[in-house]
Amino acid sequence: MIGKEIEAALNNQISAEANSSHLYLAMASWAETRGFEGVSNFFYSQSDEERQHMLKLVRYVNERGGHAKAPAVNEPSKMFDCLTHVFKIFGS
Ligand SMILES: [Fe+2]
């Protein structure tokens, strides 16, 4: 059984992974609508990867007697200035 403090910390990380996944989805969609197919595929795949991180933590918390929460996610920017801007955010 995991303690409440660890459960809360892992739920915070679950939220961070969900928000990363959502941000990369926004970047993928932005790139796709501008014809940057390779960049778009890259960010779709990054988005999937972050979701997998989130799911691993969800399963981990629940398997150890905690309760993983499905977090609210922030709405990412719909607009990016350019590819450089996208990759600056990605790298930060
Ligand atoms: Fe992650």
**How far, in Å, from the CA of 19 to the mean position of ligand 1?**
10
Q: Among the ranges 39-43, 72-76, 80-84, 88-92, which has the highest mean pLDDT value?
A: 39-43
What's the CATH code of the domain at 78? 1.20.1260.10
CB 61 within 8 A of CB 7: yes
Q: Which domain holds residue 29?
A: 4-91
**How far, in Å, from the CA of 31 to the mean position of ligand 1?**
21
Q: Look up the pTM and report it.
A: 0.93
Span 21-71, pLDDT tens digits: 999 999 999 999 999 999 999 999 999 999 999 999 999 999 999 999 999
**How far, in Å, from the CA of 67 to the mean position of ligand 1?**
20
Of the CA atoms within 13 Å of residue 22, those in its CB half-sphere come to 14
Whether the pLDDT of residue 77 is over 90: the answer is no
Q: Model confidence at 88, in pLDDT bands (50, 70, 90)? A: very high
Distance CA 56, CA 49 (A): 11
As for how many domains the chain has, the answer is 1
**How far, in Å, from the CA of 36 to the mean position of ligand 1?**
24
**How far, in Å, from the CA of 53 to the mean position of ligand 1?**
5
**How far, in Å, from the CA of 14 to the mean position of ligand 1?**
9
